[in-house]
Chains A and B, each alone.
Chain A
Amino acid sequence: MSEMQKTIEIEVLRYHPEKDKEPHRQVFEVPFTDDMSVLQGVQYIKDYLDGSLSFRWSCRMAICGSCGMMINGVPNLSCQTFLRDYYPARVRVEALAHFPIERDLVINMEGFIEKLESIQPYIIPKEERTLAQGEYLQTPEQLNAYEQFSSCINCLLCYAACPQFGLNSSFIGPAATALLHRYNVDSRDGGKAERMELINSEEGVFNCTAVGYCSEVCPKHVDPANAVNQNKTNSAADYFLRFLAPKGGAK
């Protein structure tokens, strides 16, 4: 190791539920090279400085959505955030905002998983088809309608960014709404009426105040704010026109 070796300070929010009353900060001095991500920085801490540090990670290339953290207060995937962009200043790494901390940088995502289940994130076929009838065909245009919203990797950065979710955690939130929208606008799906009940409910889209930060932090350009606000219009139309609809619209 040459004398050219650069080091950077990484300040980590630590919390051990059995030992700590509340989270506290710990600073580590980490040697780094220009190609090192923040994730590699915390991996260095775990490997060489403090093996008790806990965090989630897997793919290291912004696909799996596991390594989301607050980096200097901004929700980001730590694998696509580079230490060089902060050097020589200190980098502050914390668990994602608005979620209960399980340990150190690991958050409890149970609430989100429940929301994910509640939106029925799978195609509910409009018409049952037998194998003999072949596959469900779709035009490129029909694919375009939902493709963007299908790119979500459930990294929860949008929830950490959303001030309304921070104030009211029962709000269904950006990612779940985007995925709900993805199935509702799929030409093969027939489950819209069921899902609209959630959109229309007190936990639904009207918790959103159109801040738009969710879409800004999204690493996959899903634009959840767009899905949420399109569904405000859908929900309002359903609210006022449900008495005219043949089946009375959503409940």
Chain B
Amino acid sequence: MKAPLKRSNAPIFWALFGAGGMLSALIGPMLVFITGLALPLGLLLPADTMSYPKMLAFAQNFIGKGFIFAVIALFLWHAAHRIFHSLHDIGIHAGTGAKLLCYGSALLGTLIAAYALLAIGF
């Protein structure tokens, strides 16, 4: 007799992975360009685009908060899922340990982001 089938909880992680993948594909390159190239090199954008008062106002705005939270949390879940499966592919089958480490750090990052965004006020 074969063991009865156990329902996989993968859809939770797969959905977060998918959402993060979609978001990073849509806005990841743009964010890299703005924060990593355009501003440091003084291209296209006003020099004070990411100045402290502007970014604070952005993070205190309800929509800005949501944006920052989605980018940090979903990117993390996407990365955690990809790293977890890549570990498996290169022969590291740490199982629960790797799972806890990968998804645990994504969860930790998510909680820290949520806390920081709430702490910074509205």
Number of B residues, CB within 8 Å of A? 14
Q: Which of A202, A203, A206 contacts B11 (CB 8 A)?
A: A206
- Complex Cα gap A167–B95 (Å): 13
Contact call A206/B10, Cβ cutoff below 8 A: yes
Q: Could you tell me if B14 and A202 are in contact, using CB atoms closer than 8 angstroms?
A: no
Taking a contact as CB atoms under 8 Å apart, the answer to whether A236 and B11 are in contact is yes
Determine the distance from Cα of A229 to Cα of B5 in the docked complex, in whole angstroms: 20
Majority-rule SS of A interface residues: helix
The distance in angstroms between the C-alpha atoms of A163 and B85, with both chains bound, is 12
- Chain B residue at smallest Cβ distance from A251: B7
B:1-47 near A, CB below 8 Å = 2, 5-8, 10-12, 14-15
27 contacts between A and B (CB under 8 A): A114-B2, A163-B89, A167-B88, A167-B93, A198-B5, A200-B5, A200-B7, A201-B5, A201-B6, A201-B8, A202-B6, A202-B7, A203-B5, A204-B8, A206-B8, A206-B10, A206-B14, A209-B85, A232-B14, A235-B8, A235-B11, A236-B11, A236-B14, A236-B15, A240-B11, A240-B15, A251-B7
Instruction: List residues of A whose CB falls within 8 A of some B CB.
Output: 114, 118, 163, 167, 197-198, 200-204, 206, 209, 232, 235-236, 239-240, 251
Write the residues of chain B forming the contact surface with A, with a CB cutoff of 8 angstroms.
2, 5-8, 10-12, 14-15, 85, 88-89, 93
